[in-house]
Chains A and B, each alone.
Chain A
Amino acid sequence: MAQAAAIALACAIVLAPYSGAIEAADQGRQRQAAAGAYTPARTPDGQPDIQGFWNPVGTFYNIQDLEFQSVYQNFRPSDPERRGKSLIVDPSDGRIPYQPWAAEKAKLVLEHHADPTPQLLDPNARCFLQGVPRHLNNREFEIFQPPGYVVFFNMAHHAYRSVPLNGGPHIPDRIKLWMGDSRGHWEGDSLVVDVTSNNDQPWFDVVGSFHSDALRVAERITPVAADTIEYEAVITDPKVYTRPWTMRLRFERIKDYGTELYEEACFESNERTLDLMLHRPGR
């Protein structure tokens, strides 16, 4: 019975965000059309200057359904009527094009995410690195542009990702990393980054949207106004999806934050709490 309800819920999620996704895509096109109107300043080594503190717009609890968090925050069963926009602009239904086995797994995590078993616990909650793109669609981050590089710093988990711009080759794909291997270049005012060597652990969101170690991310990061960046990621993973898919969102400059990130020693602080959670009676 519970299973039937869950399947019904999953179907509702699949059908609902059509209009939202199309609207988001339209907004994206409008923003990109406006991009030509803005020319960012240059760093000393000639890069478009996108340095500073940025916030992803919205809270991306569920990248396929941005209003999901508001109905799930109290960890009550969600109301299928209250469905919102997806970050996914391709395919046009706003859904991750999982292969059938992968859709089953994703459903399992979604059902249990509010009271997970250890195996279903969000890796972000365990202080593991968030991976690409989640480290940019989770919380605040900083962009730093020393000569020849774009470097991202997260306050969460003191994560960093450096993107060399020197045209060097990727590391051997035999090496798998939580944050992958990024290689970038500027195409006009857009930073284009190819991310390989991803491991299979990070999720895309709190509800377990996932990938395998065959993940490849093609990012395009475009400043469209002094305080706005357009972010697009094309996600390819032939082990898990039936086709590549694209998510798009905006970053807005944080102006009231000061100019320094603090240390968040996540693992050092959470170790005991997580241990209690994972080993509590009944687990």
Chain B
Amino acid sequence: MKIRLIGVILSGVAIAALARPAAGQAVARAADGKPDLSGVWQAVNTANWNIQAHAADKDVPAGLGVVDGDEIPYQPWAAAQQKTNLANRATADPESKCYLPGVPRITYMPYPFQIFQTPAHIAITYEYVHAVRRIFMNSPHPDGEIEWFMGDSRGRWEGDTLVIDVRHFTGQTWFDRSGNFHSAALHVVERYTPISANHLDYEVTIDDPRVFTRPWTMSMPLYRRMDKGMRILENECYAFGLEHTWLKPPQ
């Protein structure tokens, strides 16, 4: 049993090493032999400001973008809508209203998130507005006209890659602060692949036939937060600035 487990670990490392020559330390394994993605992770990029390449601006850090090929294949009407969104972003961006930011935006917002993993069920808890996702493995999406801010997530393993199929979105979330958007017909496929003990490769396929002419992808690394005592804290965005509206006990 032990020998077989080691064999699984070695072959897993070998595959990772082939795919990613600079893999580094071995990927941790869960008891069922799957990669163990448990822990606190965070993207380190500027995609939340703009998923495409952009120079710095006031309060905007520059970035190379996360869209593969740097092109978003909008339909003509949608390209015009994106420009309108961009012009009105100060109030139109759902982030400005502290709404649940949807998927994949929640992943690359500048806040950490924690993955909890069991064979049948993975949960991801996010610091930003205590968003939470439940990923049920090898189970079908529910039927019906469901519109959830965070969508409905169903997972499966493809080798060492956790693949999450996400449907049933609202049309009320954006991809970034630059007005890049989708409709409620959004279909997201996320792929989380460990490339070292402390890095995940995160690839996302975006499909929305109401808004885009074809599916498109974004990709970025995710980094393990290794800070001493690291835990998810809180960012209760919608409570900020309301302190005057409630009673404070005397200090």
* B 88-131 binary contact with A (CB < 8 Å = 1; else 0): 00000000011110000000000000101110010101000111
Taking a contact as CB atoms under 8 Å apart, the answer to whether A210 and B249 are in contact is yes
A171 within 8 Å of B by Cβ? yes
Q: Compute how far the CA of A147 lies from the CA of B246 in the bound complex, rounded to whole angstroms.
A: 39
Q: Compute how far the CA of A127 lies from the CA of B100 in the bound complex, rounded to whole angstroms.
A: 13
Taking a contact as CB atoms under 8 Å apart, the answer to whether A158 and B132 are in contact is yes
Residues B141-194 near A (CB distance < 8 A): 148-150, 172
Q: Chain A residues with Cβ under 8 A from B134's Cβ?
A: 153, 260-261
Looking at chain B's contact residues, the main secondary structure is: loop
A103 within 8 Å of B by Cβ? no
Cβ of A231 to closest chain B Cβ, rounded Å: 22
Number of A-B contacts (CB under 8 A): 102
Taking a contact as CB atoms under 8 Å apart, the answer to whether A146 and B116 are in contact is yes
Stretch of A7-15, A84-92, A172-180 lying at the B interface: A172-180
Taking a contact as CB atoms under 8 Å apart, the answer to whether B238 and A127 are in contact is yes
Looking at chain A's contact residues, the main secondary structure is: loop
Taking a contact as CB atoms under 8 Å apart, the answer to whether B38 and A147 are in contact is yes
Interface size of A by Cβ–Cβ distance < 8 Å? 48
A267 within 8 Å of B by Cβ? yes
A123 within 8 Å of B by Cβ? yes
Q: Chain A residues with Cβ under 8 A from B129's Cβ?
A: 267
Q: Chain B residue with minimal CB distance to A128?
A: B239
Q: Chain B residues with Cβ under 8 A from A149's Cβ?
A: 116
B234 within 8 Å of A by Cβ? yes
Taking a contact as CB atoms under 8 Å apart, the answer to whether A168 and B245 are in contact is no
Q: Chain A residues with Cβ under 8 A from B70's Cβ?
A: none
A69 within 8 Å of B by Cβ? no
Q: Compute how far the CA of A210 lies from the CA of B245 in the bound complex, rounded to whole angstroms.
A: 16
Residues A130-186 near B (CB distance < 8 A): 144, 146-147, 149, 151, 153, 157-160, 162, 164, 168-169, 171, 175, 177-179, 181
Stretch of B52-60, B77-85, B225-233 lying at the A interface: B225-233
Residues A202-218 near B (CB distance < 8 A): 210, 212
Taking a contact as CB atoms under 8 Å apart, the answer to whether A162 and B114 are in contact is yes
Taking a contact as CB atoms under 8 Å apart, the answer to whether A128 and B232 are in contact is no
Cβ of B123 to closest chain A Cβ, rounded Å: 6
Which of A144, A177, A267 contacts B234 (CB under 8 A)? A177
Taking a contact as CB atoms under 8 Å apart, the answer to whether B249 and A239 are in contact is yes
Taking a contact as CB atoms under 8 Å apart, the answer to whether A263 and B229 are in contact is no
Mind listing 28 A-B residue pairs with CB under 8 Å?
A: A101-B250, A105-B249, A120-B247, A121-B246, A123-B246, A129-B130, A129-B234, A144-B118, A144-B123, A146-B118, A149-B116, A151-B125, A158-B132, A160-B123, A160-B125, A162-B125, A162-B231, A168-B229, A171-B231, A171-B233, A178-B236, A210-B249, A212-B249, A240-B249, A262-B148, A263-B150, A267-B129, A268-B99
Question: Which 6 residue pairs across A and B have the least CB separation, nearest first?
Answer: A146-B116, A263-B148, A212-B249, A177-B234, A268-B99, A267-B238
Q: A119-B247, A158-B100, A164-B231 are in contact. List 8 more A-B contacts (CB 8 A).
A: A101-B250, A102-B249, A146-B38, A169-B229, A171-B229, A171-B233, A201-B246, A239-B249
Interface residues of A (CB under 8 A from B): 44, 101-102, 105, 109, 118-121, 123, 127-129, 144, 146-147, 149, 151, 153, 157-160, 162, 164, 168-169, 171, 175, 177-179, 181, 200-201, 210, 212, 239-240, 260-263, 265, 267-268, 271, 278
